[in-house]
């Protein structure tokens, strides 16, 4: 498969159809092609051939999406930069990924120190969608996720990885055709966005996005009903938000309703299935490191579904992925026993961007079916049954998921300690009343005004990583191993 050539073919054969619906405006594939061509022309003029990693300011507009396709057609990789994230975080990413050029559709450019191509208004009536040659090993994107030491870590994904994902995705049989209307609810800094725009584009379908100034979850459901969406990949936290309104939702046109990014509770899924009476519901799973998602389970409407602690199974390996569950010494555990889920296959990233230390910690080579195979440790505690369905039990480390975003609690602790000078702090992830995960912070100190602390954190961390509740305690409780009892501290929050 040549992914970028497939994009070209799809756009060229669907020029008169809608490609994107953004903030109330329909854009045809023809319009998309003109903008891509305009942006390519600009890239060719001002970016040298050996400059591969290009920053992309993520706005919700046609120019931002066209920029991604333009970069790929020019054989370049995009590194998404959220303009709402603290400038220091974005600058760290720009530095780490050696970004010299940023594509920006904002009215006023966001980054002053890089070469910025302002993409808004770029268009060219002479369409050029012929891709430059790329190899499977060339990078398609680098996404930065929360890192333990206070520095975000980069996950590079190659065109080979992405092609493997697309190949495995079509193999699931969750079809998209040119008449389909597909939801794209994710920030472009989150890799579930890639599947949400790429799969529809490859089939000439239409992508529906969420304007940044709208209340996400309520807007999604208005889109679903008013535009009769047929395909939606969402994070489960969206369901928690709208659960009180399920009886108002009726989307008989929905054909495929996929969930990813967080544990999917069985009871909510059952209730949701009535809102999308004709849809196939699926729970898919995977870390950014294994390209978007790599295991799949189709929810059964009439039969019993597999679940653990009320959490629906994440199913079994997709076509191009092999999963194993191992103990601390990387030995596979027997069926039914707990262990860390590890992934291998052609969707797996070549390794963290310029981070050998982290690579040694996270990737390992193991003899598997007679061949040395490279595996990635997910940090997810799982067990697998005889049918190959994997049940998610929890995390083995201190990572949390907030609205689908991966958060290293230690990164929050790191920046809190930096702001508070030597005070002892613990960040915990707890489940609130509507069953969404929030971040709580416990400070070992007498109570004080946290306004300054919160202001400091906001200059370092994205909004979803800012603690929503802060408590004080004289001294941290210890567990039997003499370690800070995080479980007890977690109980302080409800």
Partner 1 sequence: METSLVKEKVSNVLVSVLEHNNFEMHDELTAKDVDGWDSLSHMMIITKIEEHFGIKFKLRDLNKLKNMGSLINVIQSKI
Nearest to 308 by CA among 242, 382, 209: 382
Q: 79 forms bridges with which residues in the sheet?
A: 55
Nearer to partner 1 among residue 4 and residue 185 (C-beta)? 185
Considering only 15, 249, 393, 396, the residue that binds partner 1 (CB under 8 A) is: 249
391-410 residues in contact with partner 1 (CB under 8 A) are 403
Q: Is residue 130 within 8 Å of residue 8, measured between CB atoms?
A: yes
Q: x/- string (CB under 8 A) for partner 1, residues 439-458?
A: ---------------x----
221 touches partner 1 by CB under 8 A: yes
Nearer to partner 1 among residue 60 and residue 74 (C-beta)? 60
Give the containing element (helix H, strand E) for 470: strand 469-473
Say if strands 53-57 and 77-81 run parallel, antiparallel, or are unpaired: parallel
> For residue 451, what are the contacts with CB-CB under 8 A and spacing of at least 6?
none
257 touches partner 1 by CB under 8 A: no
107 touches partner 1 by CB under 8 A: no
Considering only 468, 477, 479, 487, the residue that binds partner 1 (CB under 8 A) is: 468
CB atoms within 10 A of CB 430: 18
Q: The tokens of 242 are what?
A: 């709208």
Nearer to partner 1 among residue 169 and residue 241 (C-beta)? 241
Per DSSP, helices labelled H in 344-408 are 356-362
Nearer to partner 1 among residue 13 and residue 218 (C-beta)? 218
Q: Is residue 284 within 8 Å of residue 295, measured between CB atoms?
A: yes
Give the containing element (helix H, strand E) for 194: helix 192-203
> For residue 298, what are the contacts with CB-CB under 8 A and spacing of at least 6?
280, 281, 282, 315
Nearer to partner 1 among residue 246 and residue 308 (C-beta)? 246
Q: The tokens of 473 are what?
A: 């305690």
Nearer to partner 1 among residue 433 and residue 483 (C-beta)? 433
Which window, 19-27, 111-119, 243-251, 324-332, contacts partner 1 (CB under 8 A)? 243-251
> What SS3 class is residue 350?
coil
CB of 457 to partner 1, least distance (A): 12
- What span, in angstroms and rounded, lies between the C-alpha atoms of 444 and 404? 29
Token match 């889109």: residue?
Answer: 223
Q: Is residue 291 within 8 Å of residue 157, measured between CB atoms?
A: yes
CB of 420 to partner 1, least distance (A): 19
Considering only 24, 107, 135, 215, the residue that binds partner 1 (CB under 8 A) is: 215
436 touches partner 1 by CB under 8 A: yes
Nearer to partner 1 among residue 277 and residue 388 (C-beta)? 277
Q: What is the DSSP string of 235-281?
A: -HHHHHHHGGGGGG---TT--EEEE-SS--BHHHHHHHHHHSTTPEE
214 touches partner 1 by CB under 8 A: yes
Nearer to partner 1 among residue 49 and residue 218 (C-beta)? 218
438 touches partner 1 by CB under 8 A: yes
218 touches partner 1 by CB under 8 A: yes
CA 4 to chain centre: 21
366-400: burial string, b at 16+ Cβ within 10 Å, e else: beeeeeebbbbbbbbbbbbeeeebbbbbebbebbb
CB of 461 to partner 1, least distance (A): 13
Nearer to partner 1 among residue 219 and residue 308 (C-beta)? 219
Considering only 26, 171, 179, 222, the residue that binds partner 1 (CB under 8 A) is: 222
Q: The tokens of 353 are what?
A: 């961007």
434 touches partner 1 by CB under 8 A: yes
Considering only 463, 476, 485, 492, the residue that binds partner 1 (CB under 8 A) is: 463
CB of 134 to partner 1, least distance (A): 38
472 touches partner 1 by CB under 8 A: no
Nearest to 223 by CA among 283, 181, 180: 181
User: How many of the chain's residues bind partner 1 (CB under 8 A)?
Assistant: 24
Nearer to partner 1 among residue 329 and residue 449 (C-beta)? 449
Say if strands 101-104 and 115-118 run parallel, antiparallel, or are unpaired: parallel
CB of 228 to partner 1, least distance (A): 16
Residues at the site binding partner 1, with contacts judged by CB under 8 A:
214-219, 221-222, 241-242, 244-245, 248-249, 403, 432-434, 436, 438, 454, 463-464, 468
């Amino acid at each position: 498969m040549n992914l970028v050539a497939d994009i070209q073919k799809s756009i060229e054969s669907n020029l008169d159809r809608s490609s994107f619906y953004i903030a109330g405006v329909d854009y045809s594939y023809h319009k998309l092609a003109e903008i891509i061509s305009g942006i390519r022309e600009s890239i060719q003029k001002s970016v040298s051939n050996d400059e591969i990693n290009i920053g992309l300011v993520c706005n919700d507009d046609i120019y931002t999406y066209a920029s991604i396709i333009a970069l790929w057609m020019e054989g370049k990789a995009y590194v998404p930069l959220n303009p709402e994230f603290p400038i220091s975080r974005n600058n760290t990413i720009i530095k780490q990924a050696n970004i010299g050029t940023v594509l920006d559709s904002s009215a006023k450019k966001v980054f002053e120190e890089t070469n910025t191509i302002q993409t808004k208004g770029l268009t060219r009536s002479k369409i050029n969608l012929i891709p430059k040659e790329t190899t499977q090993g060339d990078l398609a994107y680098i996404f930065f996720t929360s890192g333990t030491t206070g520095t975000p870590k980069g996950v590079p994904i190659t065109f080979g990885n992405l092609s493997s994902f697309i190949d495995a995705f079509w193999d699931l049989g969750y079809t998209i055709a040119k008449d389909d209307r597909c939801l794209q609810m994710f920030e472009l800094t989150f890799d579930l966005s890639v599947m949400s725009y790429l799969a529809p584009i490859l089939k000439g379908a239409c992508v529906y996005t969420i304007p940044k100034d709208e209340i996400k979850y309520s807007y999604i459901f208005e889109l679903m009903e008013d535009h009769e969406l047929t395909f939606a990949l969402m994070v489960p936290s969206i369901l928690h938000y709208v659960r009180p309104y399920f009886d108002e939702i009726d989307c008989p046109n929905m054909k495929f309703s996929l969930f990813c990014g967080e544990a999917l509770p069985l009871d909510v899924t059952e209730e949701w299935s009535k809102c999308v009476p004709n849809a196939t519901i699926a729970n898919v799973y995977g870390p950014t490191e294994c390209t978007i998602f790599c295991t799949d389970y189709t929810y059964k409407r009439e039969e019993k579904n597999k679940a653990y602690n009320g959490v629906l199974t994440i199913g079994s390996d997709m076509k191009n992925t092999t999963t194993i569950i191992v103990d601390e010494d990387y030995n596979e555990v027997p069926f039914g026993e707990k262990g860390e889920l590890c992934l291998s296959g052609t969707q797996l990233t070549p390794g963290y961007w310029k981070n050998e230390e982290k690579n040694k910690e996270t990737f390992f080579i193991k003899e598997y079916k007679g061949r040395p195979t490279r595996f990635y440790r997910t940090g997810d505690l799982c067990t697998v049954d005889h049918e190959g369905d994997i049940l998610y039990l929890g995390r083995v480390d201190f990572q949390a998921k907030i609205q689908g975003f991966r958060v290293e609690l230690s990164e929050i602790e790191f920046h809190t300690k930096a702001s508070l000078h030597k005070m002892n702090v613990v960040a915990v992830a707890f489940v609130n009343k509507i069953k969404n995960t929030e971040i709580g912070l416990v400070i070992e100190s007498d109570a004080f005004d946290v306004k300054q602390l919160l202001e400091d954190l906001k200059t370092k961390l994205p909004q979803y990583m800012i603690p929503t509740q802060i408590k004080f305690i004289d001294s941290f409780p210890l567990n039997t191993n003499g370690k800070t009892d995080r479980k007890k501290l977690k109980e302080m929050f409800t």
